[in-house]
Structure 1
Amino acid sequence: MPSINASEVVNTARLNGFHYLLVAWCSFIMMFDGYDLVIYGSVLPHLMSQWNLSPGEAGLLGSSSMVGMMFGAVALGTQADRFGRRRIILFCVALFSVAALANAVATGPNSFALCRFLTGAGLGGVVPNLVTLLKEMSPGHCRNRLINLMLSFFAVGGLLSGVAGIYLIPAFGWQAPFYLAGLSLLALPLLYKTLPESVAYLLHRDRQAQVTSLLRRVNRAHRPTGEVSYRLDTTGDVATRSITALFGQGRALSTLMLWLAFGLCMLMVYGLNTWLPKLMSNGGYPLGSSIVFLVVMNLGSLVGTLVSGVIADRWGCKKTLVLFFALAAVSISLLGLRPDATLLYGLLLLAGGSTVGCLSVVHTLAADLYPVQVRSTGVSMAAAVGRCGAVAGPLLGGLLLSLSLPFEQNFMVFAVPGVLAVFAVMLVARPRLSDTSPIPQRSL
């Protein structure tokens, strides 16, 4: 029986309707990820006023979703190598949709924090698996661009959350944006019907018939005759899904530095998205204008994510991350100098584009670093540890406000992680072993 390398079938495919639908679904889910997380920055001033929250308490409340994301990435995201990408994605979408909708009926900080934690748990489990699924099912010549296109919808969600904060909150109260967040529930039946499983997972379970059918959809030029057997290539003889595999074959330093880069990136992204309106408001800008600043920054995030994907395909992930982290540090630090309106909007665009651009590329770098049988575990663990930075971001903003530092120093503090991340990325190296050995097939 002839053996066919399934990786080559996927890599040499031309883009077709299968890929467009997959990217559309992943982007749709990613849009709600951005919406559900960034909306807290819009409702925060209203919650602080209604519930008499101190900056420290508001920071803790903001971090509850980040703690949930860390929990979700570990408890849910890493299970995809065992139960399949598709099952975990569907469960996580249901979880974060219901939890986000429940936020609208929260009666106080405690119930609100619980809903935010569950929302974060769903989001933390779904994002690494979206990246992994899209990476494993995309043609090699455009893989980074498709992943970054999908991740750019985080910024689309952030934009929508800012618009919701501007128009819905004054008219209907802070609860209104959370009702919109629950709309993702309506897509679950169609998502269940059309979302595919990854070839890598199906081969791990020796589901050859399903692989044959799926590969014909992935690559329409692939029409094998007779009975064939599919295989994947993997790095060396790694056959374990244990987390210890992330440190084997010379990956220990790279894994640690990848985790650090993830954390520093998320600190900037979630710290700024949580506290930018409040920081700008405290700096003398009207609250309405401060929420507009959040919208502008997320518009920059959208552009930056798309641009970073193109650059990553040409330069590679490491060089792209070094450039974007450096731009993030410079642009964020300059925000504190109270520039004129034109320069301020330009810096906000650059800050949003560089920070979220880094967030999208660092996911791709994580997916590149690990072999297929531990890829979901590797990406999920990097995202989970990185959530420490996401937790620290809202807490750091609350600490800065409580210290009543000069306006410019607040932004200088948020710029420091960008500098540190440059050095962390430079220490990440690809594995030295080549992908040559066939994957061992397993049954349930």
Structure 2
Amino acid sequence: MATDGDSDEITARRRLLNDDHGNMDEMDFTVLPQTCSPDLTLFTRLDKSKEITVNEVVEAIGFGKFQLKCLGIMGFIWMIESMEITMLSLLGPLLVCEWGISSIQEALLTSIVFLGYAIGSPCFGWVSDHYGRKVGLTIAVICTSYFGLISAAAGGLVMTLLLRSLAGIGVGGIAQCVTMLTELVPSKTRAKSIISLQVFVFIGMSFEGLLAYLLLVPLGWRMLLVISTVPLLAFLLLSPRLVESPRFLLLTGKRKEATDILEKGAKANNKSIPEGILVADLETDRGRFKDLFSPSYRTLTFMLWWIWIASVTLYYSTILMTPALTKVTRCGHGDGNEIVHCRCKQVTNSDIVAIIIASIGELLGGLVAFLLIDRLGRKRTLAFGFILAMLSYLLLIICADRTTKYGLTLFSRSCGSGLSLLCYVYSPEVYPTKFRAVGIGTANAVGRIGAILSPFIAQVLFSASDILALVVAAGFALVGAICSLFLPLETKGRLLQDTN
């Protein structure tokens, strides 16, 4: 038995979550000092039942039908978000013609959504850490669908900005599907599972483009907004099939529910769960923002935030610059800038087709990230992607024919897509379960600073000087590459941590 002197040195303890056969107070425990860590006391049952952790169970279950079903549901949610983003690229030019808004107002129309995203992402992260991943995701989808739907009835710019910002708050919560997926798949397939979500991004962008191609001219943008919310409402039919994260359930003391989910997963994958008692550190202080700035995580958090800002800035700047980039040439025609500064340009079917074709870059970026991330590791793959993005922006400055411009623009789009995916892979891996959702939500929110800046870089600054806009984008990529190389933690092959 531990002495009084031993108990005075105890500063933390690991709690065994008992099964449903009785009360912990009625069970017989002995306290054994943990020799490898003198400040940690381990409570062990006298019957010496083997303890197993959720990491061991998830690794034993492997990747199979259970994870594929979860990936399909998460991918459907991811598709919904990509449809919202694609609608942004269409709505601005449409309202320029219909309402005669200025370039600043057009940029605000995009930025206001990402401002809402920046607010919603950490808020839904807090909700997910306190009430569960499933609860946070469901509320986020309902918020996105409701405000997206009623924004179709907006009668002016102010009301449109307000309703789109509220829809953006919901979109910010959709990022928690990455947290959920991360906690359900084994370490060997974790990165590739998250990257596979990019296929659904391509589907969402292409589907929204197809809807616009078929419906925009005959029905108008308001009806297009209404019809685009149908997949959001369809998610409500799938939500009962969405499982809660067993890691979250264990940390909240719900061992039976966690065990049931893991047993269902093992059955679906035709695997067996290792024998033993499922244990975890029972945490009451979950989802605290101050944990992100503890000595162990402070440097990592700030560097990760800059990487998010850089990757998001590049991603959305490239999307917004794409129509204008292919119209710029410097091959001996005066100042070489062929952009026609006409505010009202009707969105044509050829413009919509260009959006669909450009979404191929999403697949290419995901494919490269899929092939490299487990070979080079997270840090080096991030740095490599930023360097390639920087080179592509600098090459877009020089003289080139239109075909080359299309190729470089597609390459830049692929780099931005791959970098965003890598951020989603790395972020949930570095934070423990007790504040993982807050960690990824806050990083995602800070990254929206880049999304808010991107319309002013890609539209306002680009219209004044396309060269300056490209140099600014290259500068973001350079700083992102430096931060990636100096990240304090490589997570390749690392098991998820449940507590600090």
TM-score by length of 2: 0.79
What's the offset of the Cα at 1:58?
0.9
Question: Higher relative contact order at CA 8 Å, sep ≥6: structure 1 or structure 2?
Answer: 1
Partner of 2:257: 210
Q: Deviations over 1:235-255 (max 9, x none)?
A: xx9965322211224322221
Partner of 1:49: 97
Question: Distance in 2 between the 1:91 and 1:191 partners?
Answer: 14
What's the RMSD between the two structures over aligned residues? 2.8
Contact 2:394 2:474 (8 Å CA) reproduced: yes
> Does structure 1 residue 73 correspond to structure 2 residue 132?
no
> Does structure 1 residue 162 correspond to structure 2 residue 209?
yes
Mean CA deviation greater in 45-54 or 103-112: 103-112
Partner of 1:353: 414
What's the offset of the Cα at 1:332?
3.1
Structure 2 runs not aligned, ≥5 long? 1-48, 329-337
**Quick one: which of 242, 245, 254 aligns to 1:198?**
245
* Percent identity (aligned): 26
Flag the 1:106–1:335 CA change in 2: closer, same or farther, 3 A.
Answer: farther
**Quick one: which of 219, 231, 238 aligns to 1:184?**
231
What's the offset of the Cα at 1:291?
4.5
Q: Deviations over 1:319-377 (max 9, x none)?
A: 11111111222223333446334323322321111101100111111111111211111
Amino acid at match of 1:297: A
Mean CA deviation greater in 366-375 or 99-108: 99-108
Contact 1:145 1:306 (8 Å CA) reproduced: no
Partner of 2:196: 149
Flag the 1:375–1:63 CA change in 2: closer, same or farther, 3 A.
Answer: same
Flag the 1:238–1:182 CA change in 2: closer, same or farther, 3 A.
Answer: closer
**Quick one: which of 394, 415, 418 aligns to 2:477?**
418
Mean CA deviation greater in 408-417 or 189-198: 408-417
What's the offset of the Cα at 1:78?
2.4
Partner of 1:340: 401
Flag the 1:255–1:339 CA change in 2: closer, same or farther, 3 A.
Answer: same
Contact 2:317 2:457 (8 Å CA) reproduced: yes
Flag the 1:199–1:122 CA change in 2: closer, same or farther, 3 A.
Answer: same
Question: Distance in 2 between the 1:355 and 1:409 partners?
Answer: 19
Written as runs of structure 1 = structure 2, the 5 A alignment for 1:227-266 is: 228-232=276-280, 241-266=287-312
Flag the 1:349–1:278 CA change in 2: closer, same or farther, 3 A.
Answer: closer
Contact 1:267 1:389 (8 Å CA) reproduced: yes
* 2:278 alignment partner, SS class: strand
Partner of 1:100: 148
Q: Deviations over 1:195-238 (max 9, x none)?
A: 0000111001111111111111223422466xx5312489xx99
Q: What count of residue pairs does the alignment treat as equivalent? A: 432
Q: Deviations over 1:149-190 (max 9, x none)?
A: 114423432333334444432333223431232112332333
**Quick one: which of 94, 98, 110 aligns to 1:62?**
110
Partner of 2:425: 364
Contact 1:165 1:291 (8 Å CA) reproduced: yes
Mean CA deviation greater in 355-364 or 393-402: 393-402
Partner of 1:139: 186
Partner of 1:110: 158
Question: Distance in 2 between the 1:437 and 1:355 partners?
Answer: 29
What's the offset of the Cα at 1:25?
0.7
Please identify runs of 4+ aligned residues in structure 1 that moved more than 6 A. Answer: 434-438
Mean CA deviation greater in 31-40 or 270-279: 270-279
What's the offset of the Cα at 1:68?
0.5
Amino acid at match of 1:215: L
Partner of 1:16: 64
Contact 1:137 1:218 (8 Å CA) reproduced: no
Larger radius of gyration: 2
What's the offset of the Cα at 1:83?
0.6
Mean CA deviation greater in 112-121 or 24-33: 112-121
